[in-house]
Structure 1
């Protein structure tokens, strides 16, 4: 599995509806957190090994209503 984090900037007043849609409709989404600062949401996703991250973000995330901008981070290793 590949882990990616996507920071999302939403249209004004749309963060809660975007978060709800991400959790309900995008099966790869594991967690959605509201954040302060430049971005409104932080989304943790698990993708199958070899999945095309660019296509996933472009087709499954950026096309959702209320999303204005995204910034994607690829995680290499989780520590606990």
Structure 2
């Protein structure tokens, strides 16, 4: 299992709409509203072997209202 975090910049006034659509995707476990340069942070779990870039392009960047993304790949979770 691969864990990635995707920060999303939304079109003005569309953050809640994007968040509502994102939580419907099976691979996205959490959607957080954040401050700063980006509006949302998505925690995603992808099966091993799934192309991360292709997932982001095909599923997250295609959500209506998404303007920009920034992807972080997580290597290890600490308890």
Same fold (TM over 0.5): yes
Q: Runs of 4+ in structure 1 displaced over 3 angstroms?
A: none
* 1:68 alignment counterpart: 67
Mapped pair 1:2 → 2:7: no
Residue 44 of structure 1 and its aligned partner are, at CA, apart by: 0.1
Residue 34 of structure 1 and its aligned partner are, at CA, apart by: 0.1
Structure 2: any 5+ residue segments left out of the alignment? none
Following the alignment from structure 1 to structure 2, what is the Cα–Cα distance between the partners of residues 50 and 78? 19
Structure 1: any 5+ residue segments left out of the alignment? none
Following the alignment from structure 2 to structure 1, what is the Cα–Cα distance between the partners of residues 46 and 53? 11
1:32-70 CA deviation, whole Å, 9 max, x = no partner?
000000000000000001110010000001011000000
* 1:22 alignment counterpart: 22
SS of the residue 1:3 aligns to: strand
| C-alpha RMSD of the superposition | 0.4
SS of the residue 2:76 aligns to: coil
Which runs of structure 2 are paired with 1:42-57 in the superposition (5 Å)?
42-57=41-56
Count of residues in correspondence between the two structures? 79
